[in-house]
């Protein structure tokens, strides 16, 4: 009997190890990874839901107030900008560790259909922003007869 190992099993283990290493190293470059604080912004998590005649976008913005957030709607895109300054204290203190800082986030979300820009509504409660975007009513196509 031969005790020779299967070369394909060895290749499979090699590919699995390479895949794990690539996944681990790619996390360093993602917005929530180690370099996000250097970049000066973080990605905001969103949910986009279609509810019949409207879209609803829910965004987690912990620590942000209503006045820190700007929303803009263009043709097929929702733009959300959030920016806040760190709290400054009057008395001089020697910090052992200071992580609170200026924070800026931006997200552009492509919408599947056109929306009625004049009827868009937004509300913010406990760091969760909800934007409701009514769909624009599409006119039925009209057939034109050729004379």
Give the pTM. 0.60
Structure tokens at 137: 């009513």
Please give the pLDDT value at position 144.
Answer: 87
pLDDT category of residue 139 using cuts at 50, 70 and 90:
confident
Per-residue pLDDT of 72-119, as tens digits, reads: 998 788 999 999 876 655 556 677 776 666 778 889 899 988 899 999
The percent of residues above 70 in pLDDT, for the chain, comes to: 76
Three-state SS for 103-123 is EEEEEEEECCCCECHHHCEEE
- Name the more confident of 59 and 7: 59
Q: Which sequence spans correspond to the domains of the chain?
A: 7-39, 40-88+100-137
Segment 32-44 mean pLDDT: 51
Please give the pLDDT value at position 3.
Answer: 64
Q: Whose CA is closest to 128, among 50, 51, 62, 54?
A: 62
Q: Give the distance from CA 134 to its chain's centroid.
A: 21
- CATH fold label, 40-88+100-137: Immunoglobulin-like (2.60.40)
Please give the pLDDT value at position 72.
Answer: 95
Please give the pLDDT value at position 113.
Answer: 87
Question: What CA–CA distances, in Å, run from 73 to 50, 63, 93, 146?
Answer: 17, 24, 43, 39
Please give the pLDDT value at position 34.
Answer: 46
Please give the pLDDT value at position 78.
Answer: 93
pLDDT category of residue 141 using cuts at 50, 70 and 90:
confident
């Amino acid at each position: 009997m031969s005790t020779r190992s299967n070369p394909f099993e060895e290749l499979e283990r090699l590919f699995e190890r390479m895949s794990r290493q690539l996944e681990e190293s790619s996390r360093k470059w993602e917005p929530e990874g180690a370099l996000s604080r250097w970049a000066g912004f973080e990605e905001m998590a969103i949910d986009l839901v279609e509810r019949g005649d409207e879209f609803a976008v829910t965004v987690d913005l912990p620590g942000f107030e209503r006045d820190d957030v700007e929303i803009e709607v263009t043709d097929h895109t929702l733009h959300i900008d959030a920016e806040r300054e760190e709290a400054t204290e009057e008395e001089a203190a020697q910090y052992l560790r200071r992580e609170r800082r200026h924070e800026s986030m931006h997200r552009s979300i492509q919408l599947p259909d056109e929306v009625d820009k004049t009827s868009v509504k937004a509300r913010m409660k406990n760091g969760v922003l909800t934007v409701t975007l009514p769909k624009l009513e599409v006119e039925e196509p009209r057939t034109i007869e050729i004379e």
